[in-house]
Amino acid sequence: MKHLKSRSQDLRGLFENNITIEYVAEPLKAVAAEAEVAEVLGWMRSQDFDVVGVETGETITGYVERSSLMQVKSGKCGDYQRVFHPKELIAISTPLMKLLPVLQRNPRLFVLDCNQVSGIITCGDLQKAPVRMLLFGLVTLLEMNLLRLVRLYYPQDSWQNFLKPERLEAARRLWKESQERNEATDLLDYLQFCDKRELVLHQPELLEQLELKSKRSGERFLKSAEQLRNRLAHAQSLVSGSSWSDLISLAEAMEKLLIRCEEIE
């Protein structure tokens, strides 16, 4: 049975060609420049908006923040609007793959559509389905490549000598259940993420090729990837017990490790 390599380039191609930030952006609510601060502030509180656009005519020309309006409390919104800084703007056609590092630098972005600001993206939008699909794709490809490396570095089932007895028994139990359903393929296919991690990290040559600083740091990193996979699988918050910055850093690190995995023949 031939096991084909799944390439991260294919995943990136899917998201770069078909899924853009349009699928996670929210419309930017806006108020007229002549609107009274007191009224807008009350409305923002009731809607739980931290920022709204400011319209001059039919064009959003800037924005105001609730925290800033709370300090002045009176006057016209146009008097206190902030002009969009280029670093705060992102094109609606931007691939979803490229959103994460940009949000790492600026946790709030305004979306440009035909040179007009029309939407907003914050880190909270990373909880949406398209981003979850992207992250699940990354961690799944990573796990598939870990299995490929196990096959490569442990010929003729030699991996069984290095796995803990209880982990080997767990794989055999799943394998036997599949045999009874006429679904079984290879015992290796029934290893869990933690098993593949342990086997890969046991090989000093792989640690070096994957540019993992040590077995301990590699274990810490891959455990984080596994925990993310579990949160995705169970539709839990992506930042449970961590932060958006940590999540984005983890996603970038997974993609880099995936590329290094694929370079090993």
Q: Which residue has the tokens 């007191």?
A: 38
- Beta-strand runs (E) in the chain: 26-27, 30-32, 51-56, 59-65, 89-91, 108-113, 116-122
Query: Using CA atoms, how far apart are residues 26 and 62, in angstroms rounded to an integer?
Result: 17
The percent of residues in the chain predicted with pLDDT above 70, rounded, is 96
Q: What is the mean pLDDT of the chain?
A: 90
Q: Look at residue 184 in the predicted model and tell me its pLDDT.
A: 60
Q: Where are the alpha helices (DSSP H) in 154-214?
A: 165-180, 193-201, 204-209
* 164-187 mean pLDDT: 86
Query: Using CA atoms, how far apart are residues 41 and 51, in angstroms rounded to an integer?
Result: 10
Contact 33, 80 (CB under 8 A): no
pLDDT, tens digit, for every residue of 65-106? 999 999 987 899 999 999 999 999 999 999 988 898 899 889
pTM (two decimals):
0.85
* 47-51 mean pLDDT: 94
The percent of residues in the chain predicted with pLDDT above 90, rounded, is 73
The DSSP call for residue 4 is: P
Residue 113 forms beta bridges with which residues?
A: 116
